[in-house]
Amino acid sequence: MTIRWGILGAGKIASKWAADLPLAGNATLQAVWARDSSKAGDFASRFGNPEVCATADDLLHHPEVDAVYVATPHMLHAPGARACLEAGKPVLVEKPFGLNRAEADSIALLARSRGILCMEALWTRFLPSFQTALDLVGSGRIGEVRNVVADFGFVAPQDPSSRLWDPRSGGGSLLDIGIYPLFLARSFLGNPDRVASVCQRSTTGVDASCRVDLAWLGGQSASLHSTLVESTPCMAVIEGESGRIVLERMFHIPTTVVVHDANGSERIPPPAGGHGYEHEIRHFGECLGQGLRESPLWSLSDSLDLSLLMDRVQEAWQ
Ligand SMILES: NC(=O)c1ccc[n+]([C@@H]2O[C@H](COP(=O)([O-])OP(=O)(O)OC[C@H]3O[C@@H](n4cnc5c(N)ncnc54)[C@H](OP(=O)(O)O)[C@@H]3O)[C@@H](O)[C@H]2O)c1
């Protein structure tokens, strides 16, 4: 089954995603909408000339659009996703699923009540390198996981109007990039029992950086860091009782996985491919083809839990 996609938004991530779409093998680009029609036109000319819709509503009700990818800034994810579901369209929603758990809930409730496939575009979940790490842990290669360390930081230009710094756009490091270390820790250790965090505020009032310490009653822990004011290694280490797995820079994209155990070290490079978005695109199409309403790999409950975790981190800053 080939999914005919429509995209809301024609910015940076939409471009990378559209570039990878042909690699998915089960997807074509049917239509695009952006608030600036000249930007949408330019986007269309770069990606095979899909139809440029005059309004978002036109795209949502387009009879030849099978699924919609919401690629607008954070604060538009929940309204965009709900509009897709109201129009009866399956929807892939960029991360974060919503600005907070309440917004995420509003999407999940609607998706479940309508029985329409809806998934957060937590693309790292679908990468072969991430799956390799999950499989290595599952095979017992490093024993029980005891600690996760992960960071994601880069120096973002100090432009207060940029979505990264603007509080009205859901700016700050946590929702934009801190979500990845949290996702990683939760993937290997589950939802934490204790959440501690401190943040450094920007002049615009969002978190320029934040450090998060998670703890589990079984003694497991995670130390996580995200920042928009520092270039950090962007690596992840999953420490087990008898070894460790390193996801090399950048840990959230297709990357080399190194496993260290009693027998030495093994490096597992990523397979050739695009930016890596083809995996989530293919997975979403397969779910749709199978008539699934939620992804078995990244369910609505996963998105809700991650959203709640980010709420808990922010509560710790008060
Ligand atoms: N999965 C990933 O790897 C990844 C990577 C980067 C970003 N993201 C996510 O993708 C989302 C977009 O990020 P981006 O870097 O692509 O941002 P971006 O380059 O600013 O693009 C955002 C798009 O939304 C449009 N937009 C902005 N404000 C709008 C409004 N009020 N009404 C309608 N459209 C509006 C922009 O239009 P204009 O061009 O006219 O401003 C642009 O088309 C973010 O939520 C981010 O978390 C995901």
The pLDDT assigned to 211 comes to 98
The whole-angstrom separation of Cα 249 and Cα 254 is 9
**180-190: per-residue pLDDT in tens?**
999 999 999 99
Contact 77, 97 (CB under 8 A): yes
Tell the residue number behind the tokens 């859901």, with chain if given.
Answer: 170
Q: Mutate which of 33, 35, 251 to test ligand 1's pocket (most atoms within 8 Å of Cβ)?
A: 35
Give me ligand 1 centre to Cα 8, in Å: 9
Residue 307 · residue 97 · CB < 8 Å: yes
Per-chain mean pLDDT for the chain: 98
Cβ(168) – ligand 1 distance below 6 Å: no
User: What would the CATH number be for the domain defined by 3-124?
Assistant: 3.40.50.720
Euclidean distance between CA atoms 213 and 1, whole angstroms: 44
Assigned superfamily of 128-269: Dihydrodipicolinate Reductase; domain 2 (3.30.360.10)
Closest residue (by CA) to atom 24 of ligand 1? 72
Mean pLDDT of 305-314: 98
CATH code 3.30.360.10 region(s) in the chain: 128-269
Does residue 71 line the site of ligand 1, with CB under 6 A?
yes
pLDDT for the residue numbered 126: 98
Q: Kindly state the average pLDDT of the residues 130-149.
A: 98
pLDDT given for residue 66 in this prediction: 98
As a whole number, mean pLDDT of residues 64-75 equals 98
Q: Give, as one character, the DSSP assignment of residue 105.
A: H
Check residue 258 and give its pLDDT.
98
Please work out, in degrees rounded to the nearest 5, the angle formed at the alpha carbon of residue 269 by the alpha carbons of 268 and 273.
140
CA distance 93 to 121: 5
Residue range 158-179: average pLDDT? 96
* Ligand 1 contact via 121 beta carbon (within 6 Å): yes
Check: CB of residue 288 under 8 Å from CB of residue 117.
yes
Q: Average pLDDT for residues 111-115, to the nearest whole number?
A: 98
Counting atoms of ligand 1 from 1, which one is nearest the CA of 179? 47
Encode pLDDT of 243-284 as tens digits: 999 999 999 999 999 999 999 999 999 999 999 999 999 999
Atom of ligand 1 nearest to the CA of 72: 24
For residue 146, the model assigns a pLDDT of 98
Please work out whether the CB of residue 35 comes within 6 Å of at least one atom of ligand 1: yes
Residues forming CATH 3.40.50.720 domain(s) in the chain: 3-124
How far, in Å, CA of 96 to CA of 78, rounded?
Answer: 9
Catalytic residues: 95
pLDDT at 113 (0 to 100): 98
Whether the Cβ atoms of residue 313 and residue 226 lie closer than 8 Å to each other = no
- Reported as type and span, the H/E element at residue 70 is strand 67-70
Q: What's the gap in Å between 204 CA and the centre of ligand 1?
A: 19
DSSP 68: E
Our CA angle for 237, 239, 243, nearest 5°, is: 115
Of ligand 1's listed atoms, the one at least distance from the Cα of 10 is 43
pTM (2 d.p.): 0.98
Strand partners, 149: 223, 237
Residue in the block written with tokens 């998060």: 212
Contact 142, 261 (CB under 8 A): yes
Residue with tokens 């490096």: 267
